[in-house]
Amino acid sequence: MQITPRNPLEFPYWRVPGFNPNHIVNRQWITGGTKSYANGATTSISLIAPGSAKLICPQRPSRFPDTVTGAQTAAVKTYIGNTVFFTTGTNSYVYTVTSVGDPTGAIIGAVMIPGASAANAWIAGCGSGTTNTSNLSLNSLVVTYFTNGTNNSSTIAALTAGDPYFIAGSFDATNFRFVVTHLKTGKITNTSIAGTSNMGFAGTASVNVGGSTSNGCGYLAAVMIIQNPGYSLGNAELIAWASDPWSYWYPPTPEEQFAEVTGIPIRYPDWQRQYDGGVEMIGY
């Protein structure tokens, strides 16, 4: 065994996917509130790529997805591990949910590798049709929050197709806040633009993950959405998440939690070898 410092930007293959109640995004659980996965005023969905052509919910794998359309494929990618590939021209995962009134906000995040540049390549969001939607998306590789037929583009420079990123945002009537981490270079970029109170739809709609009916977003390793969270994340909170992006989907192990408290370093397996910034697993 050798003592190896953890790179929080690399896929944490030693962790077990699950729900992290202490994560900064899960404020509703920290403060004692109750939220539901679906069929309620608040909808929370968390999905990971398990190594097959279907994303799964690690907490409730039998519950999701409701409907899968298109021709998704599985792929293993450097930096982010297992992915599901949503190619241009395919549809997305669709989850049937019920919204009470026009959504007042959303928090959406994903670990992904963007595909080819395309218009309105949805990553994740809620809506029904083209106009009654609210989606975190890539519009010609520019990170955008698409609402009611309007691209609310961030000022973050266009991403590079084929590079690994963490992308997230917190959206409400006052602000649309975005953050992006380039998982190869470690560069974090954030921005905020004016929000809007008209954020999508009322009544029955769906949660779409991976793309619209025309454009897929690329390779997804992990994705989450909380609709109507009842709170927003500030820029500092989004940057904190962007500094350790995998922690939402892959909670720290008991050993890592102990190390954080005591300062005792973690002993990672000696078959973790670094190459080109990624992780090569030998003898795994």
Higher pLDDT, 44 or 159: 159
- Binning pLDDT at 50, 70 and 90, where does residue 277 land? very low
Say if strands 105-114 and 121-128 run parallel, antiparallel, or are unpaired. Answer: unpaired
∠ CA 276-281-282, rounded to 5°: 115
Domains of the chain, residue spans: 2-281
Average pLDDT of every residue of the chain: 78
**Does residue 168 carry a pLDDT above 50?**
yes
What does the pLDDT read at residue 166?
A: 98
Residue 141: alpha-carbon gap to chain centroid: 16
Residue-wise pLDDT tens digits, 38-49: 334 566 788 899
- Kindly report whether the peptide bond that precedes residue 269 is cis, defined as omega within 30 degrees of 0: no
The pLDDT tens digits of the residues spanning 102-146 come to 667 889 999 999 998 888 888 988 765 555 678 899 999 999 998
Share of the chain above pLDDT 90, in %: 32
Tens digits of residue pLDDT in 243-264: 999 999 998 887 777 777 777 7
Residues near 211 by Cβ (< 8 Å), separated by ≥ 6?
70, 86, 90, 91, 92, 121, 122, 217
Say how far apart CA 154 and CA 167 lie, in whole Å. 12
* Residues 37 and 60: beta-carbon distance below 8 Å: yes
CA-wise closest residue to 197 among 147, 149, 237: 147
Which fold is adopted by the domain 2-281?
Jelly Rolls (2.60.120)
pLDDT at 198: 67
100 CB contacts (<8 Å, ≥6 apart)? Answer: 40, 41, 228
Q: Which amino acid appears at position 28 of this protein?
A: Q
The β-bridge relationship of strands 278-281 and 67-68 is unpaired
CB 116, CB 216: distance < 8 Å: no
Choose among 193, 194, 180: nearest CA to 242: 180
pLDDT reported for residue 97: 56
Full-model pTM: 0.85
Residue 40's pLDDT is: 40
Does the pLDDT at position 270 exceed 90? no
Amino acid at residue number 65 = P
